[in-house]
Amino acid sequence: MTANIIETKELKNDPVFGQISFDGHEQIVFCNDEDTGLKAIIGIHNTVLGPALGGTRMWTYETEWHALNDVLRLSRGMTYKSAITGLNLGGGKAVIIGDAKTQKNDDLMRRFGQFVDSLSGKYITAEDVGMETRDMDVIREVTPHVTGISESKGGAGNPSPITAYGVYMGMKAAAKYQFGTDNLDGKKILVQGVGHVGETLVKHVTDEGAKVIINDINEARLEELSKKYGANVVLGNDIYGLDVDIYAPCALGATINDDTIHQLQAKVVAGAANNQLADEIKHGRLLKEKGIAYAPDFLINAGGIINVYAELEGYGKDEITRKTENIYNTTLDIFNLSEKEDITTHRAAFNIAQNRIDTRKKEQNK
């Protein structure tokens, strides 16, 4: 399970505009603080629909180029996630280079929060891989431009359960399209990555009677959840050829790539990871040619941003749930549009999101 990156063997002369994942981003902010050791990058992709909201990921990247590539891909994905979900938000993301288990502390979080605050609300942060709700509470001490803070402090709390629920809704819609029923009872489901979101997804599908296989780099975690949910464990990276009905990538991205796509036996791909397709065009097309129903990640993992958006708009748990459940309907619409126009599901979802952005931009320029 590697960071969702595209390998760039030939370094570009231009550190940002020449990056393979640069897509007309509005602003890239490099944050450096010697006292705390903070090295971070904030990517603001698009703010046509509203301020750029997206989580902060803390990860031990192989190189700074990999970190930049990750933040570019993630911030772009947030633009389309908010757009297709109907939220008045733009797309942004941040990465902190470092080991969250050994290098993260409150001073580092506060210093990062000060950099976020310097953008005056153009970027609003939240939690992602390597971050917790408590970290958002610390960042909130120095800036109001943070979501996902504790419910005790007036926030919406940990977005992971809602993210998992949205993925579950998207998975059921994909099953409905592919198998003719959204009942997951008896379906063999491979969940790759059993962090906060992955575990909650395992619970949902197990409760419905699915036969679950789990995979993760953390063997202790696998043993714990195997006992808790009765799931089967598969170790290592040789998992893509397993005889399963549904593959749910819930770790980091780019797991559907040139090496893995031809191994896939699953008939549905529906998971929580961002940027699951290493090459959106090529691998989206190959999935379609193989008859695999792919539920676009930036659509079905939008429950988290729906949850934190509630803090900005002031709606409660009932509305969060309603908006997240609607992911089911939107996913079915995407499959139907894909079939009608003979395009990939990724392209169908992208076109709807881009059209909303273009329409708003035209209104603003009148």
Active-site residue set: 93
- CA-based nearest residue to 237, from 268, 210, 215: 215
Give the integer Cα–Cα distance in Å for 51 and 110.
Answer: 21
Beta partners for residue 31, in sequence order? 40
Tokens, residue 200: 């909650």
Q: Which amino acid is at 154?
A: G
The CA distance from 70 to 73, in Å, is 5
Q: Rounded to the nearest 5°, which phi and psi values hold at 108?
A: -60, -45
Instruction: Output the CA angle 352-355-360, nearest 5 degrees.
Output: 135
* Structure token digits, residue 266: 């699953």
Angle, in degrees to the nearest 10, between helices 317-325 and 160-179: 30
- Cα 240 from Cα 325, distance rounded (Å): 29
